[in-house]
């Protein structure tokens, strides 16, 4: 069962919050989370910013109680009132209690009605224990409480704290990588795969067999005979019928997982409805062959606070007296965390290359040649025999996901923001998160605010009168 309600943090915000709530003096501290939401139907709350209550402004700070001035509540209300954002006061539990105390219940009853009088139909409260674990709940204006199923932090590691199975001492123990415990937890998560072709079908196959509770498959393209040699589960009958790739693959997953595990979205990711579908995911995979699609995946990861795995392969050629020769066989895998460096920051695309791609699309013949030469640079090859290369990068992608959710490396995951490999020289190059310069990201945590992803062309259109 997918976690229906979730509170998501960028790793940078969580680290700042933990430093503030645990300054080292053993006393409680407080802050207010200002949150947006993803589009429905799933309820994912996104921490857009944290209003930190200065320690010396609190009237009382002890090991098990805190009293702080309402000025900071008013400050948070001023931030969220115009756009109906959700406020979640959070405080530390230095003693390690992973539950709400009677004092916490009483404090919520006193504080939150004041917030509801200002605006909104949903606010909440949360606590953090010394190891950074968070538990959260929501209230309606009648002060009826709903527990949040899971809290996630998307940083160098992807951390998840579940409400079910938690004890007063803490959340359930994290599963060990590659075990049935991992399979069980993945069954509570949703993955979205953008592009279900050469690399995307390989990624989706692994996710389905690893046990993800729900897999959203997004692709507008049709199965053709020329790509049967690299799309898993595609058949000649699919090509003859011109079936949509996402729908074909969803049916294949149904065959071994049963109905309901896969959702096909037969649209371009450039369409609003496809982006809305992807917004429901916990993990995002970009397996695309255009810069525009990567640009949109980049913005989705930031706006909806979803970890993004972007992958690609290429086979550059060189000319010789004997004709074109293979110069290298390359793959690239990027892990993008919200609040960290983006694909744009890393130079995977730029404003200029996006414009150049758009210009090429206005020339159908030239654009088709570009697509046909997508794998082997310098040669037009309609049916490149690249499934082995796709398997290599597709496997690396899913292993990277496992390493982030269930860390098994000897080195910190921060060192693996980008991996590039060359099979011609058997070399692998790693880039750390700190190796990239991070620009300000205006869509970080914007959620369902309009226009979607900050792009006017994706704005919600008014319905018929």
Q: Return the domain boundaries, the chain.
A: 5-162, 180-457
pLDDT at 359: 86
Residue 189 CB partners (closer than 8 Å, separation 6+): 2, 3, 212, 213, 214, 282, 283
DSSP letters spanning 207-231: HHHHT-SEEEEE---B--GGGTTTS
The Cα–Cα gap between 448 and 276 comes to: 9
pLDDT at 318: 87
| Alpha helix (H) residue ranges in 304-414 | 351-361, 364-372, 387-405
Angle at 189 between CA 186 and CA 190, to 5 degrees: 125
Is residue 25 a contact partner of residue 94, using CB atoms and an 8 Å limit?
no
CATH homologous superfamily of 5-162: Cytidine Deaminase, domain 2 (3.40.140.10)
Which two structure tokens, joined as six digits, stand for 100?
Answer: 């709400």
Is residue 76 a contact partner of residue 51, using CB atoms and an 8 Å limit?
yes
Give the right CATH number for 180-457 from 3.40.50.10210, 1.10.3720.10, 3.40.50.300, 3.40.50.720: 3.40.50.720
Which pLDDT tens digits describe the chain residue by residue (465 residues)?
Answer: 566 899 999 999 999 999 999 999 999 999 999 999 999 899 999 999 999 999 999 999 999 999 999 899 999 999 999 999 999 999 999 999 999 999 999 999 999 999 999 999 999 999 999 999 999 999 999 999 999 999 999 999 999 999 999 999 999 999 999 999 999 999 999 999 999 999 999 999 999 999 999 999 999 999 999 999 999 999 999 999 999 999 999 999 999 999 999 999 999 999 999 999 999 999 999 999 999 999 999 999 999 999 999 999 999 888 888 778 899 999 999 999 999 999 999 999 999 999 999 888 887 665 555 545 567 776 666 668 899 999 999 999 999 999 999 999 999 999 999 999 999 999 999 999 999 999 999 999 999 999 999 999 999 887 665
- Secondary structure (3-state) at 296: helix
Tell me, what DSSP letter sits at residue 322?
T
**Pick from 63, 51, 48: nearest CA to 20:** 51
The Cα–Cα gap between 334 and 310 comes to: 5
pLDDT at 320: 81
Angle at 277 between CA 237 and CA 419, to 5 degrees: 80
Number of continuous H segments (helices) and E segments (strands) in the chain:
12, 21
Place of tokens 């160098």: 156
The Cα–Cα gap between 160 and 98 comes to: 14
Is residue 212 a contact partner of residue 235, using CB atoms and an 8 Å limit?
no
Q: How far is CA 462 from the centre of its chain?
A: 29
The Cα–Cα gap between 137 and 144 comes to: 10
- Furthest C-alpha separation in the chain: 82
Angle at 99 between CA 95 and CA 103, to 5 degrees: 80
Q: What is the dihedral of CA 81, 83, 86, 89, to 10 degrees?
A: -40
pLDDT at 322: 79
The Cα–Cα gap between 57 and 32 comes to: 14
Strand (E) or helix (H) holding 302: helix 291-303
Strand partners, 20: none
Return the CA Rg of the chain: 24
The Cα–Cα gap between 124 and 45 comes to: 11
CA neighbours closer than 13 Å in the CB half-sphere of residue 236: 0
Is residue 113 a contact partner of residue 143, using CB atoms and an 8 Å limit?
yes
């Amino acid at each position: 069962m997918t976690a229906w309600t979730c509170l998501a943090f960028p790793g940078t915000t969580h680290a700042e919050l933990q430093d503030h709530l645990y300054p080292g003096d053993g006393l409680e501290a407080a802050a207010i989370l200002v949150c947006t939401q993803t589009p429905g139907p799933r309820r994912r709350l996104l921490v857009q910013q944290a209003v930190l209550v200065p320690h010396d402004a609190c009237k009382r700070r002890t090991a098990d109680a805190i009293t702080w001035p309402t000025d900071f509540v008013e400050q948070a209300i001023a931030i969220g009132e115009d756009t109906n954002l959700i406020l979640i006061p959070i405080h530390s539990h230095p003693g390690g209690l992973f539950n709400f105390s009677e004092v916490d219940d009483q404090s919520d009853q006193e504080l939150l009605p004041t917030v509801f009088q200002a605006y909104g139909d949903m606010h909440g409260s949360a606590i953090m224990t010394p190891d950074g674990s968070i538990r959260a709940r929501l209230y309606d204006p009648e002060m009826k409480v709903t527990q949040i199923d899971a809290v996630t932090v998307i940083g160098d590691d992807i951390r998840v704290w579940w409400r079910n199975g938690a004890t007063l001492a803490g959340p359930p123990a994290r599963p060990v990588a590659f075990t049935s415990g991992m399979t069980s937890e993945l069954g509570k998560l949703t993955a979205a795969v953008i592009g279900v072709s050469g690399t995307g079908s390989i990624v989706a196959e692994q996710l389905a067999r690893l046990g993800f509770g729900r897999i959203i498959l997004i692709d507008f393209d049709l199965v053709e005979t020329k790509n049967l040699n690299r799309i898993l589960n595609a058949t000649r009958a699919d090509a003859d019928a011109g079936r949509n790739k996402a729908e074909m693959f969803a049916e294949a997953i149904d065959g071994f997982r049963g109905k309901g595990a896969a959702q096909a979205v037969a649209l371009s990711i450039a369409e609003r409805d496809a982006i809305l579908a992807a917004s429901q995911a916990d993990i995002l995979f970009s397996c695309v062959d255009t810069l525009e699609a990567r640009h949109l995946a980049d913005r989705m990861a930031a706006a909806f606070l979803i970890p993004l795995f972007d992958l690609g392969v290429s086979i550059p050629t060189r000319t010789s007296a004997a004709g074109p020769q293979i110069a290298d066989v390359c793959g690239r895998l990027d892990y993008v965390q919200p609040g960290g460096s983006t694909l744009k920051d890393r130079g995977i695309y730029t404003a200029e290359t996006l414009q150049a791609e758009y210009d090429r699309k206005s020339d159908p013949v030239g654009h088709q040649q570009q697509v046909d030469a997508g794998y082997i640079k310098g040669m037009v090859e309609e049916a490149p025999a690249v499934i082995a290369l796709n398997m290599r990068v597709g496997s690396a992608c899913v292993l990277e996901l496992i390493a982030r959710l269930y860390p098994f490396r000897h080195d910190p995951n921060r060192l693996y923001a980008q991996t590039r490999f060359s099979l011609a020289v058997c070399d692998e190059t790693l880039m750390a998160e700190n190796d990239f310069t991070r620009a300000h990201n205006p869509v970080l945590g914007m959620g369902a605010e309009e226009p979607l992803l900050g792009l006017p062309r994706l704005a919600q259109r008014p319905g018929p009168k």
